[in-house]
């Protein structure tokens, strides 16, 4: 509740269901309507046993955590505070699970998911590495 006298502002939280970081609700709603979790689940295929389950949930957890300021895997724990997980509408994954998921990716995994190859894009060991840089 905000009392709106111009000379004094007093902010009170009188609702036990208040959630910090509720601004991420807009992004969560957009992601849900676009079906991003399902799309990631259909497109991402990882062979590693612990990482291959629920890739959509894991990607959405990472996106929401980054939006809320997480700068490391441990920072993803911000999603588990209060009722933030309930607000997002997805099951929030634990930071250790997200770390396992991220470690399952390799350069080959990323290249195959985009339909390109590291060799063609000048990645490690590709022909672009052997060419002299062009000056402007």
In sequence order, which residues have a C-beta less than 8 Å from that of residue 129 and are 6 or more positions away?
A: 122
User: Where in the chain are the domains?
Assistant: 20-106
- Among the ranges given (30-39, 49-58, 83-92, 104-113), the one the predictor scored with the smallest mean pLDDT: 104-113
**Angstrom distance (rounded) from CA 99 to CA 79:** 15
Q: Length of the chain, please? A: 136
Tokens at 107, concatenated: 């350069």
pTM, two decimals, is 0.66
With beta carbons less than 8 A apart as the criterion, state whether 104 and 51 touch. Answer: yes
Residue range 19-29: mean pLDDT, rounded: 82
Please report, rounded to a whole number, the percentage of residues in the chain having pLDDT higher than 70: 62
């Amino acid at each position: 509740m905000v009392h709106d006298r111009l000379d004094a502002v007093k902010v009170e939280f009188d609702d036990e269901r208040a959630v910090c970081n509720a601004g991420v609700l807009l992004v969560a709603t957009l992601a849900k309507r676009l079906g991003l979790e399902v799309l990631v689940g259909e497109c991402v295929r990882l062979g590693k046993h612990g990482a291959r389950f629920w890739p959509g949930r894991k990607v959405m957890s990472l996106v929401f955590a980054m939006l809320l300021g997480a700068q490391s895997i441990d920072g993803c724990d911000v999603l588990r505070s209060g009722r933030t997980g309930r607000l997002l509408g997805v099951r929030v994954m634990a930071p250790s699970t997200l770390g396992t998921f991220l470690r399952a990716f390799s350069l080959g995994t990323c290249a195959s998911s985009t339909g390109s190859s590291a060799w063609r894009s000048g990645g490690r060991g590709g022909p672009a590495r052997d060419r002299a840089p062009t000056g402007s």
